[in-house]
Chain A
Amino acid sequence: VKTNSKLEKIWDSGGFIVTSECGPPRGADGDIVRKKGEFLRGVVDGVNVTDNQTSVVRMSSLSACAILKGMGLEPILQMVCRDRNRIALQSDVLGAAALGINNMLCLSGDHQKFGDHPQGKNVYDIDSMQLIQMVCRMREEGKFLGGDEIKGKPVIFIGAAENPFADPFEIRAARLGKKVKAGCQFIQTQCIYNLEKFSRWMQMVCDRGLHEKCAILAGVTPMKSVGMARYMKNNVPGMDVPDEMIERMKGTPKEKQAEEGIKICVESIQKLREIPGVRGIHIMAIEWEEKVAEIVKAAGLLPRPEV
C-alpha cells in the first residue's frame, strides 16, 4: 500500500531525503512547537517528533505532531514501546492516521532509568521489531494484533532507528534485516561521528541488499561545544565519538566552537552522501532547531523537492 508520505514519494522518485527533529516542550505551550516547526519549514522533508526522549516527560508526540501537521509540515511520529502496551500503541496509530500523520518511527525507547521518573515501571509488552510488524499488518491486512478487522486502515509509512555503533557490531546489519523483514521502510541512524565504522556497517547493509528495500537516512548531530562532544562520548550509551573530533573542538576557541560544530556537521553530511546506499540525512539538532536551515543550505541540499 502506498502512503501519502512525502518521504515515501521522494524515495520512490529516487531522490535524497532530508529530515530533522523537533523535541516537544516540557509543558503545555503549543507555541514552542510552532516556533520550532517554523525553523524547519521548507528546509526538510519530514520532522521527527520525539516521544518522551531520554525518558523525560514532555508534551505527547502525537499532540506535537498534530500541531506541526496543522502548520503544513510533514511530521514523523516517534513511538516508543517503553510507555504503552499493544492496546495503547494501536490506538495511537489509528489516531495518528486519523490526524493525517503519514509517518511513524518505531522505537524501543530509552530506559526510564535515564529520565526524570526512574522510579516508574516500564511496559515493553512488545519490542520495536514487533511494533513495526504490527503497524505493517494494520496497514496491509487491516488487522489488529488480536486478529479483529480494522475499519479504516491506518496508511502510514513505517520507519525505525538503528545504531551502527552499538554492540555486538557483527549482528547490527542482521538486526536491520529483521526490521526490513518486519516491514520497515526507512531507517534513521544514531548520530554518526565515526564515519569509518559507519561505512563498514553500510557495506554490511548493502551486502544484504537492505539499502534497496529500505531508505537509509544517516543521522548527524551538530556539536555546540567541546563539553557536549565529551558528554556524548562518555555519557550517551551507544555513541561513538572519535578522539580527533574532541581534539578538533578543543582546539577551537570557545566562542567559535558552535560554528566549528556546524562546520563538522556539514562536512560529515557531504561525506555521508558519497557513501553507497545512503539515501538521506537525518539532522538531530538538539534544542538547536534554528540551525538546521543553515546546515541544510551549507550542505547543498536546498531547495527541497516538491512532491
Chain B
Amino acid sequence: MKKCILGLLVFMGILLFAGCGEKEGASAGSGSSSGASGSSASSGTASSGESSSAQATTESNLTSDKITLKVWESSGASADFVKQAGEAFTAKYPNITIEYENVELSDSSAQIPLDGPAGVGPDVFATPSNTIGVLVAGGHILPVGNSADVVGQVAQSCEDAVIYNEKIYGYPISAETYALYYNKDLIPEPPTTWEEVEAFCQEFNEPGTYGMIFNVGAAYYSPVFTGKNGNRLFGQYGTDTSSTFMNNADAVEGMTYFQSFRQYLDVPATDIANDAVCLAAFTEGKAAMYITGPWNIANCRDAEVNFGVTTLPALPGDNQPATSFSGARTMQVSAYSDYPAEAHAFAKFLISEEMQQLRFDITGEIPSVGIEVSNEYITGFQKQLEFAYPMPSIVEMDGWWGPMDSACANIWDGADVQAELDAVNSTVLQ
C-alpha cells in the first residue's frame, strides 16, 4: 500500500515539475510569439507588396493574366462612378475586371487593418485624405511609385493633401473645402472683405435676420480666422507637433476678430453651433451669406434659393481671401494587394481628365484635376481651394476637434481668447 502511494506521489511530482519546466521555456517565448505569429504572415505580404510597387509605375509591364481588382467605395453616385470607370478600364485592359464592394468612405480606414491581413481586403479603396497619416503609420497603403503621376496632374490643394512624409500616398479623385454661399436676391455682389460683410450686416440685419451666418461652434471653420499671415494648424506642413500654432499672435488676432463679429451675428453659440440650423436660416432667407461646403449645393438648389458660391472674404488687413481647410477624397492602393501595379494603374486611371469629367457628371463634386466644369458653384469652390490648406492627418489631429469646438463656442460667447486657445494647445499636446 505504502509503496503504491509513494510511487504515485513521485509520479505526480515528476508531472508537476515537468509542467513547470515546460512553463519556463514556453512562457518566455509566448510573450513575443503571440504578438509576432499573427502578423508575420501579413508582414510578408506587405514587404512583397512594397518591393513590387517599385516596378508598378510604368503601365507597360501590367500583367496579361486574367485578374480582378476589388475596389471599396461609398454607395450612391460614388459607386456608380467606380462601376462605370471600371467598365471603361476593362475596355482598355480586357484582362482586368473591376469588382465594386460597398465600404463607406468613413469606414474604410478602420476596415482595412482587419480585412487587409485577413486576405479579403480591396486592392484599391477610397478614404479621406486626413486618414493618410494613420494608414501610413499602420503600413496599410503603398506610396505612389512615380510621383509625376500625381504632381502637376491635380490641383495644388489635392496635391498637398496626399503628401505625407515627403511621399505621395494615393490619388485624389475629388477635392473638398468650404466657401461663401450668398443669396443673390439679398446681396447681388458678394463682399470680398470682412469689412464689407460688416457694412452689409449693418444695413441688412433685423431681429431674426442676419447678413452672415456660419457654425460658430465648429473647429472645422476656424481656419477662416486663424489663418492670418499663412498661419497653419500644426505648422506649415501640418506635421509639427511642437505646437498647434493655434495660440500664436496670428491666431489670437484672428479669433479676437471672430469674437468681435458677434455684434453682427448676435446669437449665442448654442443656437448656431449646428449646421442644420444655419442651413435652414440660409434657405429661408433669414441669412444672406453662409459659409459651408459643396455638400449643401443640392440642399440649397432644392430649396430654390438663388445663390452663388465665391471665395471667403479677406480678414481685416489681409488682401487675399481667408483660408480654409481642404481635403481630398483619395483612392489608395492597399499594401495587401496581390496586384499593386494594376491597382496603381486603375487608381491613376481615375484621375485622368476623361474620368474626372465622368465623375463630375455623375456626382457633381469638385474635380481634382483642372478641367473646365460648367457649374458656377463648383468654380467658386475651385477658386477657394487656391487659398485653402490641407487638413493635417497626424495622429494628434483626432484630439484637436473636441477642445477647439468648445473653445470656438466659448470665445464666441465672450471668453478670453488667449486663455481658451492656450487651453486647446495644452490639451491637444499634453
Q: Do A and B come from one complex?
A: no
Interface, chain A (partner B; CB < 8 A): none
Interface, chain B (partner A; CB < 8 A): none
